[in-house]
Chains A and B, each alone.
Chain A
Amino acid sequence: MPSSSAQVRVRERGLQFLLGLVKHPILPVIIFTLLSTFLHNIDPPSKGEFYPFSNFPMYANPRDRDLEYFFLEHGDGTPLACFGYTGYTASGVKKLMRSESMAYAKANGLKWNKKSSWLTAEVQAEIGTTVLAHLRKRSEDRATPFRGDIALARGIIFVNEDGKMEDSSETIARNSAPHGDPASNKIP
């Protein structure tokens, strides 16, 4: 039958292509690319990150949605430069919140994703408190300890009805200074 012979020819060509690919020096590069891209499917606990393999998720899903960021504050609500104390940038603090929410989900048998319904304001405050404790410890490990109370704020950037960008922020968690140290982080 002509159709079956055509099918056989296509199959043979496909097989030849695959054999050629297996012998081709580009194959390791293709394997590296596919392995990294689908790492979160191959190894779900890795969430796509297994150094040096990464699926490079930065800016991979731009959408018309509220975008959040996190930053540190003094006890009185004024901003605090986190990098000098902890080595974490504000971007790092956001990633820390993400990692801690994953740890929270794992500890409580929940399924994690960015829009998880369980990630309520209360839960985020609880996660924020853990992150603040971690940051205070980090600042002490680095010998640049926070003095006084610190807080974590959550900023939101959004496009309003007029198509303009706006942002707002609110404090979501607090961490008191150890032994009631009243000293402030502020430079006099």
Chain B
Amino acid sequence: MSASIELARRIRSAPWVKRLCAGTFRPAPVASWEVLIMRVLFACVVWQTMPENFHYAEQKYPNGIARWYDLTWLWSGHEYSLAWMGIENPVSAMEIIRVVVAISLLFYAAGFLLPISLPLITAASVIVRTYYNSQGSIHHGCQMVTSILLFQSIVVLGFAGRRLYGRVVAKPFRFPEGLSIWSYFLYYSQGAIAGCYVIAGLTKIVRTGGDWFWNSPYMALEVIKTEKQEFYSTLDHSVLGTQTVYAEWMLNYPNLARLFLGAGVFLELFAIMALFSRSTALMIGAGMILFHRSVDIVMNLHFRFNEYAVWIFCINLPFWAALAMRNARDRGLTGVTDLPRKTS
């Protein structure tokens, strides 16, 4: 008994455990170079979510804001004259949106005029992906990217408003010590990512009353269904039979299937821990990448934008690389939060 108490005491006093428990669930100091890298990488991700054109002339199954606003003006068949700007050829709405988004993303990456550029990008993302999802087939690959943009826009506009209000009442707004707008920017970007995973986990619990874990071996049927759907989309014979081995394994070893699949749902439910500290963000992020890679292998389902977002905002390799280099220089005497944080 005393030996186990001693072991627990030693574990508690271990530096890595102390580091892991040193979180607050609050925004932490962030270096401006870290966020610069994040913005550049995320701008590339956002650009990839923008389609070049829309062949949909109608929105037969309106979703989101399309229930109130007709978005068929996005159809590439509609062309608009920009002769007043000296542009001879008529252009489609998507071409205009892509130019606006491209310019806004450059400003976003550089960190200039964010209260204007970020809401523009967010609005474009919402409008474009809403129209895409208003065709009767809802795609879940871009919600996380738009949610991150939405949170970032609220942060940027919120603090711009508070600064403005501070000027009006002659009481300048100041961030808490050590924090900057980038602290909140990163915190809520991670919050959007964590939120999406928790939602997916909660839905499984709410829909089945917790029976999901017991019934999880029946995911085998879903695996086969996904394989069939993949085949009938393109008639690519190479996909046939690739997932069968995993499906049969789930039915033959139901308890092991429950263990592995249940672990994935637990990871989703506890994704909120990514907001606790940088260390937990790294751990949850690594877990999520492993989760997505497993889903990719077993079900041939890809969520590449989600993975990119996790790499950028949760795993945040540049920070850990910089910390490792500094620790190597200082012979490991530096703590996780000791990296110089030059805030803008």
Write the residues of chain A forming the contact surface with B, with a CB cutoff of 8 angstroms: 24-26, 28-29, 32-33, 36-38, 45-46, 49-65, 67, 69, 71-72, 79-84, 87-96, 99-100, 102-103, 134, 138, 141-143, 155, 157-159, 163, 165, 167
Contact = CB atoms under 8 A, between A and B. Distances in A.
B278 interface: no
B228 A29 contact: no
Contact of A51 (B126, B218, B224): B126
B137 A99 contact: yes
B101 to A, nearest CB: 16
B237 to A, nearest CB: 11
Given A56-B196, A90-B228, A165-B224, A49 B25 contact: no
Interface string B202-227: 11101110001001111111101110
A49 B143 CA distance: 10
A25 B184 contact: yes
Given A82-B233, A83-B233, A138-B55, A95 B136 contact: yes
B274 to A, nearest CB: 10
B220 A165 contact: yes
B228 A167 contact: yes
Main secondary structure of the interface of B (DSSP, over half): helix
Contacts of A32: 147, 151, 191-192, 195
A40 B194 CA distance: 21
A26 B194 CA distance: 11
A137 to B, nearest CB: 8
A49 B64 contact: yes
A175 to B, nearest CB: 16
B147 A52 contact: yes
B57 A141 contact: yes
B270 to A, nearest CB: 13
Given A90-B229, A90-B232, 6 more contacts: A54-B138, A60-B203, A81-B234, A89-B233, A94-B229, A96-B135
B136 A90 contact: no
B187 interface: yes
Contacts of A67: 221-222, 224-225
Contacts of A59: 204, 219, 222
Contacts of A93: 137
5 contacts: A26-B275, A33-B195, A56-B199, A90-B229, A157-B224
A61 B137 contact: no
A95 B229 contact: no
Given A51-B143, A79-B235, A165-B251, A63 B136 contact: no
Contact of A26 (B191, B225, B232): B191
Nearest to B127: A51
A60 B251 contact: no
Contacts of B222: 59, 62, 67
Contacts of B232: 69, 71-72, 79, 81-82, 90
Interface in B50-68: 55-57, 60-61, 63-65, 67
Contacts of B203: 37, 55-57, 60
A62 B221 contact: yes
